[in-house]
Structure 1
Amino acid sequence: MTDALRVVLADDDSLIRTAIDAILRPAADIDLIAQAADGRAAIDLVMRHRPDVVLLDIQMPVLDGLAALREIRRLVPSVQIVVLTTFGQDEYVAQALGDGAAGFLLKESAAEELPYAIRAAAAGNAFLSPKITRQVLNKLPTAAVRPERDLAQIDLLSAREREVLILLAQGLSNAEISRSLFVSEGTVKTHVYRVFAKLGCENRVQAAMFAQRAGLLEPGAG
């Protein structure tokens, strides 16, 4: 387990902690090394263990997750933080990402998204739950601005990458895109990575906003 990603979990719900432990246990490359029930204890564990990734609930006693996130980022900026919560309100998403969260995952997400989010965060890549992507996109104005730079970058995408971008922007997960396009999930992940690279995006929300600005989500577009 020496090469495994070291993870600290902070959640005041013992059932959630047990469930997350069960989800992560089969992953040989992820080691859940410590757990906390409040934000202050989470900070202490991070200082003691210096993990690769921290999973932080938002609403916790003593110190809430957002305050803990800011303190951890100040004290140990190399640690990547994934916010894990039942709350998907826009203000939480914006605040967590603005404070340096590497990912935002709803507790209702599919179990396989959790290890994927941890691996993405550890690699320096942002990860947002597809539902969060859809939620943020729905708040954007319908009449999107289309800068020439955006249109030029869209032209860099292959036909398949453009299809993937549109489905991603509609809030579909990689598994759902896989089923829609009749390709493997691994192939979808490769396409998503290439879309991000070509458009200069770090996460699904940024890519979705790009598609919106370029007019790809309008009827008949693409």
Structure 2
Amino acid sequence: MTKSDNLSFDSDAAPERARILLADPQPILVDGTRALLEDQAGLEVVDVALSEAALHRAMRLHRPDLLIIEQRLGQSRCFDLIQSLRRDHPELKTVLFTAEIDARTAIDAVRSHVDGVVLKTMPSELFLACIKKVIAGGRWIEMQSFADAVEQIIEQQDVSESLAELLSPREIEMVSWVAKGLRNKEIARQAHVSEGTVKTHLHNIYEKLGLKSRMELLRFAQRQGLDA
């Protein structure tokens, strides 16, 4: 494959040439990921980190636009590591590369504010679409796996406890109002905010719960008894 410009960016937030740091403890796999990314115009892999120490050095040296980090880097500390890096580098965008999205991963991904979650079983076209969207300022989560993980969380815990792990108190209020059939204008009146703010909250809720629409949110909320 020749180097192509098929990875176009559609946001002012996207840099002219995105600088990417790969962090993955598996050299063979990371070489394949690097080759895939470097075959795309507009992308530059500035370094590869095979350990946590190498990651910190590379961050200081290159200050990349995007970090793609494999979940096993840093072992159980991966999400703490992501949060620490984002505190030190507020403009950094992060994509988590993982074998599966279980309940714990779903919660930790939400809490760490990762910009994208990519499954290793994803076709390369979807992987590149994720990178494109995140660099352009969006978020990407493999919705079905994430939604399944959220359902697993709900089943294992009390509804209020599990939602409190995933959503802010204001977002939980929004879910409750949607479950009761309130429209955005009515929710805005209840919350003393603008309709635009309500839409922003709902968009964030969809992403955190792995949902695609208001109807899916309504069904989810009703299944959890939040319409009472």
TM-score range, shorter chain: 0.5 to 0.7
1:39 alignment counterpart: 52
Alpha carbon RMSD of aligned pairs, Å? 3.3
Count of residues in Structure 1 that have an aligned counterpart in Structure 2: 173
TM-score (norm 2): 0.63
**What are the equivalent positions in structure 2 for 1:84-163 lying under 5 Å apart?**
84-136=97-149, 138-139=151-152, 146-149=179-182, 152=183
Structure 1 residue 19: deviation in Å?
Answer: 1.6
Structure 1 residue 102: deviation in Å?
Answer: 0.8
1:69 alignment counterpart: 82
Once the two structures are superposed, residues 178-217 of structure 1 have per-residue CA deviations (whole angstroms, 9 ceiling, x without a partner) of xxxxxxxxxxxxxxxxxx879534738453474333239x
Structure 1 residue 76: deviation in Å?
Answer: 0.4
Q: Give the percent of matched residue pairs that are identical in Structure 1 and Structure 2.
A: 16
TM-score (norm 1): 0.65
Structure 2: which amino acid aligns with 1:89?
D
Query: Does the 8 Å contact 1:9/1:34 carry over to 2?
Result: yes
Q: 1:4 and 2:38 equivalent?
A: no
Greater share of residues in helix: 2
Change (3 A) 1:122 1:207: same
**What are the equivalent positions in structure 2 for 1:38-57 lying under 5 Å apart?**
38-57=51-70
Distance (Å, rounded) in 2 between the aligned partners of 1:95 and 1:10: 18
Distance (Å, rounded) in 2 between the aligned partners of 1:207 and 1:62: 29
Query: Does the 8 Å contact 2:103/2:150 carry over to 1?
Result: no
Q: 1:207 and 2:226 equivalent?
A: no
Structure 2: which amino acid aligns with 1:200?
H
Distance (Å, rounded) in 2 between the aligned partners of 1:74 and 1:197: 23
Once the two structures are superposed, residues 72-92 of structure 1 have per-residue CA deviations (whole angstroms, 9 ceiling, x without a partner) of 111101101111111321111
**Structure 1 stretches of 5 or more lacking a match?**
154-195
Structure 1 residue 26: deviation in Å?
Answer: 2.1
Structure 2: which amino acid aligns with 1:147?
K
Query: Does the 8 Å contact 1:38/1:63 carry over to 2?
Result: no
Structure 2: which amino acid aligns with 1:43?
H
**Structure 2 stretches of 5 or more lacking a match?**
6-14, 156-174, 185-198, 223-228
Distance (Å, rounded) in 2 between the aligned partners of 1:71 and 1:44: 14
1:156 alignment counterpart: none
Once the two structures are superposed, residues 115-168 of structure 1 have per-residue CA deviations (whole angstroms, 9 ceiling, x without a partner) of 222222222211102343342354357xx962323xx35xxxxxxxxxxxxxxx
Distance (Å, rounded) in 1 between the aligned partners of 2:125 and 2:136: 17
Structure 1 residue 69: deviation in Å?
Answer: 0.6
Q: Does 207-216 or 77-86 show the bigger shift? A: 207-216
